[in-house]
C-alpha cells in the first residue's frame, strides 16, 4: 500500500494587534482593479469610516489607487484584524454585486507594519501620500483627489475619524506653521518604508482614463 505524500500545513504569522500606528495595505487579486468608478472609492471611504468608528481607529492618511490602497491608522484595544476583515469582505461583496462578478476581489491577506517612532510615522505618511506621483500622475499633491492630502492641509473635509489634528501635531504645536511644515515635508523625496514582507504593496503601473489621467 502506497503512502500519502507528505503535506506541510501552511500557517500564517500572527497579526500585530498592539495599539499604536500601523501602515496597512491591500491589493487586488492578480493586481486587478479594485475601484472602477469614483462611486466605488466613495463607498470604500464610507465603509472605512464606519469600521474606524466601530473599532476605534484614527486615520492619519490614506491613498486609494487603481488596484490597491494604503492606510495609516492608530488602533486601540480592539485591534486591527477584525476591522480589516469586515472592511475588505464588505467592500468585495458589494463590488461583486454591483458589477456582476463572483471571483475574489482582493489577493493575499492584508499586510501591516507598525510605526515605533514619530519620524518613521511621518515618513510613512509621506510615502502613502506620494503614491499617485510614483504611479505617474502629474500635478501637485493637492490635485490627487483620492488621497487624504487635501484634508490634511485644510482644503477638504476628511473622514469623520480622520485625525487631522493628531497628524499635524507631528509637525508643530501651531496649526498654521504645522501645515506649512507638513507641506514642505511631503514635497521631499520619499523612500519606501519598512515593509511587512512579500505582501507589501509596491509601485503599480498606472491605468489611465480617456483623458489620460491616472486612475
> pLDDT tens, 149-174?
999 999 998 888 899 999 999 999 99
Strands 20-27 and 68-75: antiparallel
**Angle at Cα 30 formed by Cα 91 and Cα 208, nearest 5°?**
80
**Angle at Cα 123 formed by Cα 132 and Cα 207, nearest 5°?**
15
Gyration radius of the chain over CA positions: 18
What pLDDT does 14 receive? Answer: 56
Residue 194 pLDDT level (bands cut at 50, 70, 90) = low
Q: Of 74, 28, 82, which is closest to residue 199 (Cα–Cα)? A: 28
Strands 20-27 and 58-64: unpaired
pLDDT in tens, 12-67: 455 667 889 999 999 999 999 999 999 999 999 999 999 999 999 999 999 999 99
Stronger pLDDT, 5 or 125, i.e. the higher one: 125
What pLDDT does 108 receive? Answer: 80
Amino acid at each position: 500500500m502506497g503512502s500519502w505524500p507528505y503535506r506541510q500545513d501552511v500557517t500564517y504569522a500572527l497579526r500585530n494587534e498592539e495599539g499604536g500606528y500601523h501602515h496597512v495595505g491591500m491589493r487586488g487579486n492578480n493586481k486587478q482593479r479594485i475601484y472602477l468608478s469614483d462611486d466605488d472609492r466613495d463607498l470604500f471611504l464610507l465603509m472605512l469610516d464606519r469600521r474606524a468608528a466601530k473599532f476605534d481607529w484614527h486615520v492619519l492618511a490614506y491613498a486609494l489607487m487603481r488596484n490597491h490602497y494604503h492606510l495609516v491608522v492608530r488602533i486601540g484595544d480592539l485591534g486591527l484584524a477584525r476591522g480589516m476583515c469586515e472592511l475588505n469582505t464588505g467592500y468585495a461583496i458589494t463590488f461583486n454585486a454591483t458589477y456582476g462578478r463572483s471571483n475574489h476581489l482582493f489577493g493575499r491577506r492584508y499586510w501591516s507594519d507598525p510605526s515605533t517612532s514619530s519620524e518613521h510615522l511621518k515618513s510613512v505618511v509621506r510615502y502613502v501620500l506620494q503614491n499617485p506621483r510614483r504611479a505617474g500622475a502629474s500635478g501637485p499633491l493637492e490635485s490627487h483627489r483620492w488621497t487624504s492630502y487635501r484634508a490634511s492641509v485644510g482644503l477638504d473635509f476628511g473622514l469623520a475619524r480622520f485625525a487631522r489634528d493628531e497628524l499635524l501635531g507631528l509637525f508643530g504645536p501651531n496649526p498654521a506653521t504645522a501645515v506649512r511644515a507638513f507641506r514642505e515635508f511631503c514635497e521631499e523625496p520619499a523612500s519606501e518604508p519598512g515593509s511587512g514582507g512579500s505582501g507589501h504593496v509596491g509601485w503599480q503601473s498606472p491605468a489611465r482614463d480617456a483623458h489620460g489621467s491616472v486612475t
